[in-house]
Amino acid sequence: MKVLFVGSLSALVLTMFATALATPVKEHQSNLDTHILSQVNFKFNVPHITSSGIRNDTHFIRLAVKGMSLQNLIISLPSQMERFNGVRITDQSGKEIAAKMEISKERLLITFDQPIAPDNSLEVELIGVRRKSLGGNILLYGVSGQRVGLMGEIPIGTARIDIPEKG
């Protein structure tokens, strides 16, 4: 009987303690202060993907170049991709960027003739994409790059392309 009483008392104390931890503490703040505290501001200082998508049979990946100049891009091709007909790279004004391409089954290496300077953006278009009939409606492109003055690949992100259902 004593063990049952001690066990019940312990459970009661534990429950009260857990409830006290879960109860929010109210502080005296104005609505303005709460609003300011809830905002999050991201300031990127590295190359990053800003968007990706599909236009007809063309997949595109948009990148912002931040921090240091970008010397090349390495894009890992999704396993669902059968082939594509070409690559076009443009800057924020729509002007084509000169680059050399090396294409294999698993990846696309883009080496820019002139490094892309910081505070610029670019769009990589894979034109005439053909994919396997099976394999899902989501394609993931891994993107990494090499920045001027640094050795090795630096991960930039993963671009997601959602293929609309035919119907």
pTM of the model: 0.72
Res 3: pLDDT = 45
**For 25-63, what is each residue's pLDDT tens digit?**
444 455 555 555 556 666 667 899 999 999 999 999 999
Distances (CA, A) of 146 to 74, 116, 138, 141: 8, 11, 26, 17
Between 118 and 4, name the one with better pLDDT.
Answer: 118
CB 109, CB 159: distance < 8 Å: no
Task: Give the contacts of 132 (CB within 8 A, at least 6 positions apart).
Answer: 80, 81, 82
Asked if pLDDT for residue 18 goes beyond 60, the answer is no
**For 102-148, what is each residue's pLDDT tens digit?**
999 999 999 999 999 999 999 999 999 998 877 678 999 999 999 88
**For 136-162, what is each residue's pLDDT tens digit?**
789 999 999 998 888 889 999 999 999
Of all residues in the chain, the percent with pLDDT exceeding 90 is 59
